[in-house]
Amino acid sequence: MATDQCPKTEITAESQGWVEAFQVWKTLGDRDWDKMAAREVDALMTLEKELRAERNDEQ
């Protein structure tokens, strides 16, 4: 398969919401993990993992 265009990176409204929730969590600290939906915990942990990977690449 061939294409004449580069793929576009898109961020959905839902993804933007996860990023905003992550920023709030990093700013304010502790969350009540037991009351969060598994999907939200997964999103926050994925963003945390990616942030740590970025920081390790910078060193």
pLDDT tens per residue across span 2-56: 667 777 777 889 989 999 999 999 999 877 889 889 999 999 999 999 999 999 9
How high is the pLDDT of residue 11? 83
Lookup result for tokens 């919401």 = 17
pTM higher than 0.75 for the full model? no
Round to whole Å and give the CA distance between 35 and 57.
33
Whether residue 23 contacts residue 48, with contact meaning beta carbons closer than 8 Å, is answered with no
Round to whole Å and give the CA distance between 57 and 59.
6
